[in-house]
Amino acid sequence: MLRLEPRPEPSIAMGLLSPLIALLLTAIIAAGLFVALGKDPLRGLEVFFVQPINGLRPISEVLLKATPLVLCALGLAVCYRANVWNIGAEGQLLVGAIAAGGVALWLSGALPGMPRGSLAVALLVAGVLGGMAWAALTAWLRDRCNANEILVSLMLVYVAQQLLNYLVFGPWRDPQGFNFPQTPTFPSSTWLLPLWQGTRLHWGALLAPLLAVAAWVLLFRSWKGYELQVGGAAPMAARYAGFSSRQALWFALLLSGGLAGLAGAMEVAGPVRQLTPYLSTGIGFTAIIVCFVGRLHPVGIVLAGILLSMMVIGGELAQSRLGLPNALSGVFQGLLLFLLLACDTLVGNRLRRRAA
Amino acid sequence: MNEVALLLAATIASGTPLALAGLGLLLNERAGVLNLGAEGMMLVAAIAGFATAFATGSDMLAFAAGAAAGGGMALVFGVLVIGLNTNQYATGLALSIFGGGFSAFVGAGYVGQRLSDRAQWALPLLSDIPVLGPALFRQHPLAWIALLLCVAIALMLYRTRAGLILRAIGESPESAHALGYPVRTLRLLAVVAGGALCGLAGAFLSVVYAPMWVEGLVAGRGWIALALTAFATWRPARVLLGAYLFGGLTMVQFWMQTAGVPIASYWLAMLPYVATIVVLAVISRNPTWIRLNMPASLGKAYHPGH
């Protein structure tokens, strides 16, 4: 028999290995599921883990989809390290997209005929502010009323989705859009232009690695990051040291809200170029998985963002090429997080053979 | 039936799943475990119940399937959180995310299918009272079971030894352990029981309330049920009251939409979520009030002997 025995120190090697073991286990279970569904398991795994990176164009799509995941997850990592449980990145992303869309509509009326891409930055700024404002609601309610940030931030996701629905079914609906719930396509002046002709990967994607570096500096090379992490790991010690927990709360939420809003604005200015009710397919929730699989570390998050982006695209491919529901991707994502949390037991413990 | 009676009846119907899930979560939290996976358990139970009802036509089997699905998922959560000491927040979130994906995957073939409307039970005599009769006494049996369950859980918590032990492991697991109670086993039992109730709530939604399947059918009710337990300061009767209040709010919203109140339906659809936020803010304002009522070890892992 085996038993768990606590390690004297958490194992760094296991911390890095654990996501890989979890990924391997997910792939094994996935293969089993493909067999159960009557599909060739190797072909199934290929659709999820090989085809998304088979060629430059597919890779550009993976990076395109990884960008908002990484942006949201970087903010969430700061939150979780500070023990602030923001799970409403999805809502902050949607409001960022709404703000960017509003600015695009306004600018396209006020400044017609501007050169391609010249106004994209204004959309991104609006997105950041929109996301920050939405996260500020959660921070304010937590700060003033002590309301649980998990539930408030999650409830605000549903409110944000209804707000988006209201706008695209109502006042912002394209009059020439055959009654489809969508705004007009925004003019080319508001677009984030592609990095290469023929791909959708845009300049904004370069921000993700840059912001990952910035997040690393913030977390591991700045006083503020130190304060945040002490506040998260040992609230009493932080209080004794005079670190303000209120400040940490506001800082973490505004930062993650701003990053999620930026991600939303990039979706609007980049690939989508209009507002629709189906703007986000759970990016803010997938980002939570990215955050944990990436070990709440910026470098890990970039890698995990690419992995989860592959799984999202794999789901789409599974639908078109294998005739399986797109939701399969969600099953694998959930499984991955589950298995990861289970494997993480081995970071703080080790397996020992039980003495007879 | 006149309009008031209809509204009242619908209020109870829409409050019932919240009540069932809220009572289940109350059991969890009284034992000291916070399960953020309620939404995921309800979703998986909803599709399990729906598929069972669709295949067999039996409601009893559908509810059993729902409860088993909820309980099964809660068991996985419990083994991770209690057995392996994983982070309760993260594990609960994982359960919700997995449940969302898994239910959408299994339910893909059922989208757009409908079940026939379910029969209600009318209590003889009482259901003939004007207005109140049809509203309160013509309901699906589960509506009454929720009521009975609330009474049973209240009696269990406050009048039995089992309830005392359950509260003890939520307040002070160290003392309970010192007295010789198997804290972790009991917590696991509470978690599974709570999950089964969430599952029953999910099956009620898809089999009786909707009665159909769409992706994300539960629409945040798992999270609202989590908020309800805090709103109720962890007391069963108040969970029931809160559930009917929220049920009423949902129904007023539908009623306003059909009555042609000149507010866009999207604003009305926000109501339950906004109300949850407002309620949370109001009841949390007084920290001592929450601290006095909240199970003292809620969300904290307990592993004896370390």
Secondary structure (DSSP) of A23-74: HHHHHHHHHHHHHHTTS-HHHHHHHHHTGGGSSHHHHHHHHHHHHHHHHHHH
A267-317 pLDDT per residue, tens: 999 999 999 999 988 999 999 999 999 999 999 999 999 999 999 999 999
**Distance separating alpha carbons of residues A38 and A48, to the nearest angstrom:** 17
B128 contacts: CB under 8 Å, gap ≥ 6: none
Task: Give A193's DSSP letter.
Answer: -
Q: What is the DSSP string of B92-157?
A: HHHHHHHHHHHHHHHHGGGTT-BPPPPP-EEPTTGGGSTTHHHHHHEE-HHHHHHHHHHHHHHHHH
Residue carrying the six token digits 């028999």: A1
Greater confidence (B255 vs A356) lies with: B255
Share of chain A above pLDDT 70, in %: 99
Instruction: Output the six-digit token pair for A98.
Output: 């709404």
pLDDT of residue A356 exceeding 60: no
Amino acid B213: pLDDT: 94
Residue carrying the six token digits 């989508």: A272
Task: Answer whether residue B117 is part of any domain.
Answer: yes
Residues in a beta bridge with B139? B121
pLDDT, average across residues B39-55: 96
CB atoms closer than 10 angstroms to residue B150 = 23
Burial of residue B264 (number of CB atoms within 10 Å: 0-12, 13-18, 19+): middle
Amino acid B302: pLDDT: 82
Closest chain B CA to residue A350: B84
**Distance separating alpha carbons of residues B22 and B15, to the nearest angstrom:** 10
Share of chain B above pLDDT 90, in %: 64
Amino acid B285: pLDDT: 86
Torsion angle defined by CA atoms of residues B260, B266, B269 and B273, in that order, rounded to the nearest 10 degrees: -140
**Distance separating alpha carbons of residues B50 and A224, to the nearest angstrom:** 51
- Residue A2 CA: distances (Å) to CA of A162, A269, B184: 51, 54, 19
Distance of residue B284 Cα from the nearest chain A Cα, in angstroms: 5
Model pTM? 0.93
Amino acid A208: pLDDT: 96
Amino acid A287: pLDDT: 97
A331/B102 Cβ within 8 A: yes
Distance of residue A58 Cα from the nearest chain B Cα, in angstroms: 24
DSSP, collapsed to helix, strand or coil, labels residue B64 as helix
Residue from A159, A99, A158 nearest A129 by CA: A99
Task: Answer whether residue B305 is part of any domain.
Answer: no
Residue from B162, B178, B191, B163 nearest B298 by CA: B191
User: How many CA atoms, within 13 angstroms, populate the side-chain half-sphere of residue A180?
Assistant: 12
CATH number at residue B245: 1.10.3470
Q: Is the dihedral of CA B56, B60, B63, B69 positive or negative?
A: negative
Residue from B60, B55, B40 nearest B113 by CA: B55
Amino acid B288: pLDDT: 82
B293 contacts in chain A (CB < 8 Å):
none
pLDDT, average across residues B104-130: 79
Amino acid B172: pLDDT: 92
Task: Answer whether residue B15 is part of any domain.
Answer: yes
Residue carrying the six token digits 């009493």: A236
- Residue A18 CA: distances (Å) to CA of A165, A347, B18: 40, 8, 37
Amino acid B305: pLDDT: 61
Task: Answer whether residue B272 is part of any domain.
Answer: yes
pLDDT of residue A197 exceeding 90: no
Greater confidence (A108 vs B132) lies with: A108
A2-353: CATH topology is: ABC transporter involved in vitamin B12 uptake, BtuC (1.10.3470)
Amino acid B1: pLDDT: 52
Distance of residue B51 Cα from the nearest chain A Cα, in angstroms: 17
**How many structural domains is chain B composed of?**
1
pLDDT interval class at A109 (50, 70, 90): confident
Instruction: Output the six-digit token pair for A12.
Output: 């760094």
Residue carrying the six token digits 């358990």: B41
Task: Give A204's DSSP letter.
Answer: G
pLDDT of residue A70 exceeding 60: yes
Amino acid A1: pLDDT: 64
pLDDT of residue A80 exceeding 90: yes
Give the DSSP H/E element, type plus range, for residue A351. strand A349-353
Give the DSSP H/E element, type plus range, for residue A352. strand A349-353
Distance of residue A291 Cα from the nearest chain B Cα, in angstroms: 11
pLDDT, average across residues B243-260: 86
B192-210 pLDDT per residue, tens: 999 999 999 999 999 999 8
pLDDT, average across residues B24-35: 96
B227/A345 Cβ within 8 A: no
B211-246 pLDDT per residue, tens: 999 999 999 999 999 999 988 999 999 999 999 999
**Contact status of A213 with chain B (Cβ, < 8 Å):** no
Amino acid A262: pLDDT: 98
Which range, of A35-39, A103-107, A173-177, B284-288, averages the lowest pLDDT? B284-288
B261-298 pLDDT per residue, tens: 778 889 988 999 999 999 999 988 888 888 888 898 88
The interface residues of chain B toward chain A in range 32-91, judged by CB-CB distance below 8 A, are: 36, 40, 76, 80, 84-87, 89-91
pLDDT, average across residues B83-90: 89
Task: Answer whether residue B306 is part of any domain.
Answer: no
Residue from A145, A155, A189, A215 nearest B290 by CA: A145
Q: Are A191 and A206 in contact (CB under 8 A)?
A: no
**Contact status of A191 with chain B (Cβ, < 8 Å):** no
Computed over every residue of chain B, the mean pLDDT equals 90
Share of chain B above pLDDT 70, in %: 94
**Contact status of A249 with chain B (Cβ, < 8 Å):** no
pLDDT, average across residues A66-80: 98
Task: Give A174's DSSP letter.
Answer: -
Task: Answer whether residue B298 is part of any domain.
Answer: no
Instruction: Output the six-digit token pair for A336.
Output: 């991955």
**Distance separating alpha carbons of residues B113 and B202, to the nearest angstrom:** 17
